[in-house]
Amino acid sequence: MTTDSPENQDLPEVVDPDAIKPAARARTRVKICGITRVEDAQLAVQNNVWALGMIMWPASPRYVAPQAAADIADSARKSAEIAGVFVDQPLDEVVALTAEIGLTLVQLHGNEGKHFCQAIVERTGARVIKAFRVQGRDVLGEMGKFYGVDFHLLDTYKAGIPGGTGETFDWRFLLDTPRRGDVPLILSGGLTPENVAGAIEMVGPYAVDVSSGVESEPGIKDPEKLAAFFAAVEGAESPRHAVPDAPLTGAEEEVLTLAYTRRIAAEQELAARKPSGQDRK
């Protein structure tokens, strides 16, 4: 005989993965970075890309001048998020380029602080991706300080190179040391058509980010590698597939399914624990 306590009442039922239709499964999104040409942007769009990234840092071999970036953005903005990647550039410069190009995502790959991130949101309306370079599990503590951004991105650390190293890091540390908060995670760093499925199956990121892994040369995307990468992502079984996507709010699709169910469960459990009449105070 069992007695339902307040803690056990009205909590979400456990979802049976076998009962979820494929179309309802949480989808791992793809961000293609280092886009320098309209034709490559269109190739990515044809493969159902989530976001296109352009490097706005002049020292990068994949740097795109503002007018060229605007042309790329105009060719794809109805089909994908448009991201600009910056590295320790002045706030006014980032704001101006975001407006000029029409960026919907601002990716900060340097030592930008929390106030800088918030200023980007307030002055542009774009969402912020804060990138972190992985040297060890200590990166998780740093990520926890940036709970107010829209996305966290993990990339491989290499001295003197702020990103785009083409090298992987050891994903296993993410399994036994949970991140703080529920900011959606974008996994980057040395991903290729050959290893991206394994990365998704181990980490279960919201999205994966690739640049050199689908190129024939820096800044030039290879159509066959692009297609193979998308196919590998589509076929990967992410831990997020155990729960269907959360209900959407308007046009937003940025609610992590697992975070959503955890939040609802916590709210309902808290409500069940409250003494009668507390809500009326």
CB atoms within 10 A of CB 262: 14
Which tokens go with 11? 């909590």
Which tokens go with 276? 């009668």
Which tokens go with 136? 């060890």
Burial of 183 (0-12, 13-18, 19+ CB in 10 A): buried
Dihedral pair phi/psi, residue 106, rounded to 5°: -115, 115
Q: Catalytic one among 33, 40, 117, 209?
A: 33
Q: Which stretches within 187-252 are classed as H helix?
A: 196-203, 223-235
Q: Catalytic one among 40, 117, 155, 209?
A: 155
Active site residue 117: no
Helices (H), strands (E): how many in the chain?
9, 10
Residues known to be catalytic = 33, 155
